[in-house]
Amino acid sequence: MAVSGTGLAFYGLDRRSALPRPSIEPRLPSFLTRINDAAKSKVLTIQDYFTLAGKSLRFIFARPFYTQDVIQQMDEMGVKSLGIVLLTGLFTGMVLALQSSVQLKTFGATMYIGNLVSASMIRELGPVLAGLMVAGRVGSGIAAQLGSMRVTEQIDALNTLGTDPIKKLVTPRVVAALIMLPVLTVINDFVGIIGGNIIASLVVGLPSSQYWRTVWDQTANGGFVLRYIPNDFIMGLFKPLVFGGLISVTACYFGLGTTGGTEGVGQATTKTVVTSSILILIIDYFITQLLLSVLNYGG
């Protein structure tokens, strides 16, 4: 008997023969069978997720190349997300400067606002906030679009017309996200630091030249890779790269696996935003831990 799941089996992720039911299963008590089924279902979900991610990455190098679709998705994810990323970055930088000015004033160290804002923005808040914003705006959009295509049989139509839906729909979105999320993050970081500059000048009265010098000092103090690339930049760009892949694959996974009509589309969208937001926060911790031990910080 076939194991039913997210419905991705149609799309080259055929798991008809995966994990066959053992013959002793009927003898198990019902609660054990349920636990067994639940565990199996979770394992299959993870297997599907990574198979989808693997296939979408492998298709980057396989003909035909859907360049037009990649450009369209880059516009959709990057250019159209610019507004919310600019606003998020600006106000995060401003509030960071404001809060830190209060704390630093007690030590008479308000000249270090630039250090604090730049370290926070480049290493953490820039990538994470851009990731969360894109997960909310773009991830939900992808899941809703692919989910609608699934329930209106457009995905089946692609298959029928001899096109691999993963190559046509998933790969361009993953590529676009891998490119655009780091770009958005850099913009977010930069605007955040400018926001900090505005508050440092207007509220604290710190000259801009001193602010920017502390920003650079902070970046330089973090150490360099290959003598010229600041460690902060490595951390600040590696994270959005991972988040971009994570958001796009999660959204495509839930979108393609949509079942149950329009209600299913809504559920796919919600699952995408919740799952990718949580994964961003969890994975952020582990990437930070990893990079702090790999990169020679302060060295």
Partner 1 sequence: MVDNAPPKAPDSRDSAGSADDVGDRRGPDRRVDTPASEGRKSASVRQAIRSELEQDEPEDANAAAPRPRADSTPVVEMDHVSLAFEQPILEDVSLAACEGETVVLVGESGTGKSTALKLILRLLVPDSGRVLIEGQDITHLSFEEALEARQKMGMVFQGAALFDSMTVFENVAYPLREHTKMSDDEITDRVREKLEFVDLEADRVMQQMPAELSGGMRKRVGVARGMANNPRIMLYDEPTSGLDPLTTGTITRLIMKLQRELGVTSVVVSHDIRASFRMASKIALLHEKHIAFFGTPEEMTASEDKYIQDFLGGL
CA distance linking residue 128 with residue 237, whole number of Å:
11
Q: Does 12 bind partner 1 (CB under 8 A)?
A: yes
Stated length of the chain: 299
Q: Does 154 bind partner 1 (CB under 8 A)?
A: yes
Q: Name the phi and psi angles at 66, rounded to 5.
A: -95, 65
Alpha-carbon Rg of the chain, whole angstroms? 23
Q: Which is nearer to partner 1, 64 or 207 (CB)?
A: 64
CA distance linking residue 41 with residue 286, whole number of Å:
26
DSSP secondary structure, 156-194, as one string: HHHHHTT--HIIIIIHHHHHHHHHHHHHHHHHHHHHHHH
Q: Does 7 bind partner 1 (CB under 8 A)?
A: no
Q: Does 1 bind partner 1 (CB under 8 A)?
A: yes
Q: Does 157 bind partner 1 (CB under 8 A)?
A: yes
Decide: residue 177, CB within 10 A, 0-12 exposed, 13-18 middle, 19+ buried.
Answer: buried
Tokens encoding 42: 């979770």
What string of H, E and C letters represents the secondary structure of 184-242?
A: HHHHHHHHHHHHHHHHHHHHHCCCHHHHHHHHHHHHHHCCEECCCEEHHHHHHHHHHHH
Q: Which stretch binds partner 1 (CB under 8 A): 109-117, 129-137, 152-160, 258-266?
A: 152-160
Q: Does 46 bind partner 1 (CB under 8 A)?
A: no
244 neighbors 145 (Cβ within 8 angstroms): no
Q: Which is nearer to partner 1, 29 or 162 (CB)?
A: 162
Rounded to a whole number of angstroms, the minimum distance from the CB of residue 55 to partner 1 is 10
Rounded to a whole number of angstroms, the minimum distance from the CB of residue 285 to partner 1 is 37
Total site size for partner 1, rule CB under 8 A: 20
Q: Does 63 bind partner 1 (CB under 8 A)?
A: no
CA distance linking residue 189 with residue 16, whole number of Å:
46
Per CB under 8 A, the list member of 36, 41, 163, 288 interacting with partner 1 is 163
Per CB under 8 A, the list member of 30, 106, 160, 209 interacting with partner 1 is 160
Per CB under 8 A, the list member of 162, 205, 298, 299 interacting with partner 1 is 162
Q: Which stretch binds partner 1 (CB under 8 A): 136-144, 156-164, 188-196, 248-256?
A: 156-164
Q: Which is nearer to partner 1, 4 or 289 (CB)?
A: 4
- Residue 225's DSSP bridge partners are 229
Q: Does 164 bind partner 1 (CB under 8 A)?
A: yes
Rounded to a whole number of angstroms, the minimum distance from the CB of residue 184 to partner 1 is 23
- Write out the residues near partner 1 by the rule CB under 8 A: 1-2, 4, 10, 12, 14, 16, 64, 149, 152-154, 156-157, 159-164
